[in-house]
A and B are shown apart, each in its own frame.
Chain A
Amino acid sequence: MVALVGNPNTGKSTLFNALTGLRQRVGNYPGVTVARKSGSCDLGNGTKVELVDLPGLYSLAATSPDEQVVTDALSGNISGERQPDAVIMVADATNLLRNLFLASQLAELGLPVALVLNQADIAKEQGLRIDTTLLSERLGGIPVVMASAWKGEGVIDVRRAIALTLERKTLLPRVVWPEKILAALEDIKAAIFRDTGRKITSAEAQRLIFDSNSALAERLQWKPEHRDPVIRQGRETVRQSGYNPLAAEPLVHYARLRKVLEGVVKEGAVRNSRSAAVDRLLLHRFFGPVLFAGIMLGFFASVFWLAKFPMEWIQSGVDWTKTIVAPPLDAYPMLQSLLADGIIAGVGAFLVFLPQILILFLFIGILEDSGYMARAAFIMDRLFSWCGLNGKSFVPLLSGFACAIPSLLSTRTIEDPKARLATAFVVPFMSCSARFPVYALMCAAFIGPHYGPGWQSVVMVGMHCVGLFFAVPTAFVLTRLVLKVKPQPFVLELPRYQMPKPRDVLWRMWQNAAEFISKAGTVIFAITIIVWALSYFPRDAAVAASINAANPTAAEEVVKAKVQAAYVEQSYMGRFGKAVQPVFDPLGFDWKITVGVLASFPAREVIVSTLGVTYSVGEGAKADSRHLLQAMQDAKWSEGPRAGSPIFSLAAVLSLMVFFALCSQCGPTIATLAQETGGWKWAAGSFVYMTTLAWVAATAVYQVVIRIS
């Protein structure tokens, strides 16, 4: 196995795609939400080797989960993973000094290394000439090759270099540390062996002494009372050699690298930087935000509108499949309903998210690979930093107004684990497009007829802000008080602008969609089947018979709707709805609304069709169906203190909308949240928190409004 390592923005993934030719497998490292990408790489000499693409990083100092994974993977400390046989270090040829800092750290691991100087085309354009023979000589004879993965140039040389490294096992020469520092490292190794019985490498000892707060300390299970005095003593020894222990590593490595690079890189005439010129416009004090708003508006509109058509095709495809599959099964109503309303609807329930996911990731791929994403974060950071998020939270939150599912997947673009988790937690508060039909139904049923279209639009806009109003304090409290993860400093490279490579963008788009289908898809499918069963069973044929008998002259449609309503009423879902109606009584919900609310936990827009069924207007009700609106306006409380007064009053309508704005009524969101946060803990937390919040807020709205009006 060979590991691909390098700084971010060096074209490492492009090289990985070029080397493996998309024969890749994507998974997760155990226990963390860090993707593990591996593929089979042809070495050009008839042999193949497994290539692993490790997350991009600047230093082995492990502060984020991504960086920790790289350090662990390279040291062979991940269970079920072999230590790599060799490392391919991908460096940006235009900034060798910084890129080689990581290579210099890698030397301490004692693994064979080959160095790829990528983006050679840009280096050439800048007039840089790099003497690879001299560089290889200075680096202990390791293979050093130039490549331009974007253009596909030099990839064959990289294959040969990998083969050569595996064959000759040439190591990078280590830094020559001052005696005192070496002594300090040996002391630490000895102390750990004494206290925990573990043997650690010199590279790991360096992490403990050089990093102000190494995650390694926790993994070693070295008790702080043993650890702290040893590390303090070690740092004191380093200080005696004239170095600040927390700065020694970069100082020593960079001093050495300056010597290594002397005479290796010949600079041509410095040309004016194209990226700087573009930045003058895109980050301009006035035009920057204007262009940003334009780009994001276009982006959002595409996710929202472009996805609409394929989503409608999928929906009609699902409906069409039902009409094909259902009729032959007329004799077996249970099987028919299971197939049509359970299985086919369940598959449709997650397929329908695909267009949005694909389009969102198409845009994210373009934004990231072009270099604009970092600029977007730079422009927006100020608006988010005060509540514990950062500039990279913007894209997920904006796309949350279309749909939470792709937005949750897009939180992967946030490097800081704390901000990533907090952003994922508040994304479901954004008023997604599935809430729209609910607001529309309520406005059409009540607000419009009573207060006119003006107020109707005010309410619609207001409802879209309700979630945002609660999301901000939630993020604030979450990042200050709840999340114990250490925040990452927001140090962000603004990389060179580059043309995105279509293959890379499309490939990432597909990988995200495939992962969603295989992970969240199965959960969504299961939820749909369970809810189907709860609202189907028990189904006593006598119910239908008695209704048929009571309405001998009524039209077939009307009877059918009545039968359906009766079945839902006495199903487990209906019984449960009636039983828990008292819980929703303070919100002004009768049992029919309660059943609708319960049935719409897997997908909130379901309430519209459920109300259609419980109000006996038949299946397939839409937010604008006249019969449903009429039935709702006519509905009155039949018993209790409110008997005779209409159910859908201003208070109840507002309360219902607020409830739907805040409640966690989306199975796919919960499933995706679990997938993205690496467990069910945060998903369950989100469900309980949002549902409780929705109940409290809707109760407050109902109780206040009913007293005022």
Chain B
Amino acid sequence: MTPLSQLLPGQFGKLASLNPERGVDQRLMALGLLPGMVLKLVRRAPLGDPLAIEFGGQVVSLRLAEAESLIVDVAADCPIQRPRATS
């Protein structure tokens, strides 16, 4: 189990848990980021923060401080078919 913020750019993981009490997490859930979802840390902004993550065919930016309750399982068997391209 790894906090999302510790993922390396390009690394995949499966969302293990989040904290629905937080507004950020509620927003991400509305976008479809639910436990079990495969996500990828696409990159960090040039200044290190925020992060860009890809899941369910979309790229979303979120701040490190706001991503703290997102825990991912990097060991999980992430289906190799990447989240569908967003062309």
Please determine whether A490 and B20 come into contact, CB atoms closer than 8 angstroms: no
Is B50 close to A, CB under 8 A?
yes
Q: What chain B residues lie within 8 Å of A274 (beta carbons)? A: 87
Q: What chain A residues lie within 8 Å of B84 (beta carbons)? A: 126, 267, 270
> Which residues of A, 540-579, contact B by the 8 Å Cβ criterion?
none
Q: With contacts A94-B86, A212-B20, A271-B87 known, is A250 near B46, CB below 8 A?
A: no
Is A251 close to B, CB under 8 A?
yes
Please determine whether A61 and B85 come into contact, CB atoms closer than 8 angstroms: no
Please determine whether A283 and B45 come into contact, CB atoms closer than 8 angstroms: yes
How far does the alpha carbon of A101 sit from the alpha carbon of B34 in the complex, in Å? 13
CB distance from A493 to the nearest CB of B (A): 5
Is A374 close to B, CB under 8 A?
yes
Our pick among B29, B42, B48, B82 for the contact of A250 (Cβ within 8 Å) is B29
> Which residues of A, 160-219, contact B by the 8 Å Cβ criterion?
211-213
Is A494 close to B, CB under 8 A?
yes
11 interchain pairs, CB-CB under 8 A:
A101-B31, A125-B87, A126-B85, A250-B32, A270-B82, A273-B86, A276-B85, A284-B46, A489-B22, A489-B23, A489-B62
How far does the alpha carbon of A496 sit from the alpha carbon of B42 in the complex, in Å? 14
How far does the alpha carbon of A488 sit from the alpha carbon of B12 in the complex, in Å? 27
Q: What chain A residues lie within 8 Å of B52 (beta carbons)? A: 279, 283, 378, 494
CB distance from B83 to the nearest CB of A (A): 10
CB distance from A242 to the nearest CB of B (A): 14
Q: With contacts A61-B30, A254-B34, A283-B52 known, is A496 near B61, CB below 8 A?
A: no
Give the 7 A-B residue pairs with the shortest CB-CB distance, closest first. Answer: A246-B20, A273-B85, A59-B30, A489-B24, A382-B47, A250-B29, A247-B20
Is A244 close to B, CB under 8 A?
yes
CB distance from B16 to the nearest CB of A (A): 14
Please determine whether B32 and A212 come into contact, CB atoms closer than 8 angstroms: no
Q: What chain A residues lie within 8 Å of B85 (beta carbons)? A: 126, 270-273, 276
Please determine whether B62 and A490 come into contact, CB atoms closer than 8 angstroms: yes
CB distance from B86 to the nearest CB of A (A): 5
Is A95 close to B, CB under 8 A?
yes
Is A122 close to B, CB under 8 A?
yes
Please determine whether B26 and A212 come into contact, CB atoms closer than 8 angstroms: yes
Please determine whether B46 and A288 come into contact, CB atoms closer than 8 angstroms: yes
Is A707 close to B, CB under 8 A?
no
Is A705 close to B, CB under 8 A?
no
How many residues of B are in contact with the other chain, CB < 8 A? 37
How far does the alpha carbon of A496 sit from the alpha carbon of B86 in the complex, in Å? 6
Please determine whether B30 and A250 come into contact, CB atoms closer than 8 angstroms: yes
Please determine whether B62 and A496 come into contact, CB atoms closer than 8 angstroms: no
Our pick among A98, A250, A385 for the contact of B49 (Cβ within 8 Å) is A385
Q: A251-B34, A381-B49 are in contact. List 17 more A-B contacts (CB 8 A).
A: A58-B30, A63-B27, A94-B86, A101-B30, A213-B23, A246-B21, A250-B30, A267-B84, A271-B85, A274-B87, A283-B43, A284-B46, A383-B47, A488-B23, A491-B66, A493-B31, A496-B87
Q: What chain A residues lie within 8 Å of B28 (beta carbons)? A: 491
Sort chain A's interface into a size bin: 35 or more
Binary CB contact string for chain A from 108 to 144 against chain B (1 if under 8 A, 0 otherwise): 0000000000000010011000000000000000000
Which of chain A's residues has its CB closest to B51's CB?
A378
How far does the alpha carbon of A279 sit from the alpha carbon of B46 in the complex, in Å? 12
Q: What chain B residues lie within 8 Å of A448 (beta carbons)? A: none
> Which residues of A, 367-399, contact B by the 8 Å Cβ criterion?
374, 377-379, 381-383, 385
Q: What chain B residues lie within 8 Å of A377 (beta carbons)? A: 61
Q: With contacts A276-B85, A382-B48 known, is A493 near B32, CB below 8 A?
A: no
> Which residues of B, 2-61, contact A by the 8 Å Cβ criterion?
20-24, 26-32, 34, 42-43, 45-50, 52, 56-61
How far does the alpha carbon of A284 sit from the alpha carbon of B43 in the complex, in Å? 9
Please determine whether A381 and B27 come into contact, CB atoms closer than 8 angstroms: no
> Which residues of A, 206-263, contact B by the 8 Å Cβ criterion?
211-213, 244, 246-247, 250-251, 254
Please determine whether A126 and B46 come into contact, CB atoms closer than 8 angstroms: no
How far does the alpha carbon of A630 sit from the alpha carbon of B33 in the complex, in Å? 70
Please determine whether B63 and A381 come into contact, CB atoms closer than 8 angstroms: yes
How far does the alpha carbon of A288 sit from the alpha carbon of B45 in the complex, in Å? 9
Please determine whether A494 and B61 come into contact, CB atoms closer than 8 angstroms: yes
Q: With contacts A378-B50, A385-B49, A491-B61 known, is A273 near B87, CB below 8 A?
A: yes
Is A285 close to B, CB under 8 A?
yes
Our pick among A101, A385, A492 for the contact of B32 (Cβ within 8 Å) is A101
Output the residue of B26, B47, B57 with the most chain A CB within 10 A.
B26
Q: With contacts A283-B45, A285-B46, A489-B23 known, is A494 near B59, CB below 8 A?
A: yes
How far does the alpha carbon of A381 sit from the alpha carbon of B61 in the complex, in Å? 10
Please determine whether B29 and A247 come into contact, CB atoms closer than 8 angstroms: yes
Which of chain A's residues has its CB closest to B27's CB?
A491
Is A289 close to B, CB under 8 A?
yes
> Which residues of A, 485-540, contact B by the 8 Å Cβ criterion?
488-494, 496
How far does the alpha carbon of A291 sit from the alpha carbon of B31 in the complex, in Å? 30
How far does the alpha carbon of A273 sit from the alpha carbon of B40 in the complex, in Å? 15
How far does the alpha carbon of A640 sit from the alpha carbon of B4 in the complex, in Å? 70
Binary CB contact string for chain A from 75 to 103 against chain B (1 if under 8 A, 0 otherwise): 00000000000000000001101100100
Our pick among B20, B56, B61, B82 for the contact of A374 (Cβ within 8 Å) is B61
Is A275 close to B, CB under 8 A?
yes
Q: What chain B residues lie within 8 Å of A246 (beta carbons)? A: 20-21, 26
Q: With contacts A58-B31, A270-B81, A270-B84 known, is A95 near B57, CB below 8 A?
A: yes
Q: What chain A residues lie within 8 Å of B27 (beta carbons)? A: 58-59, 61, 63, 489, 491
Q: What chain A residues lie within 8 Å of B49 (beta carbons)? A: 381-382, 385
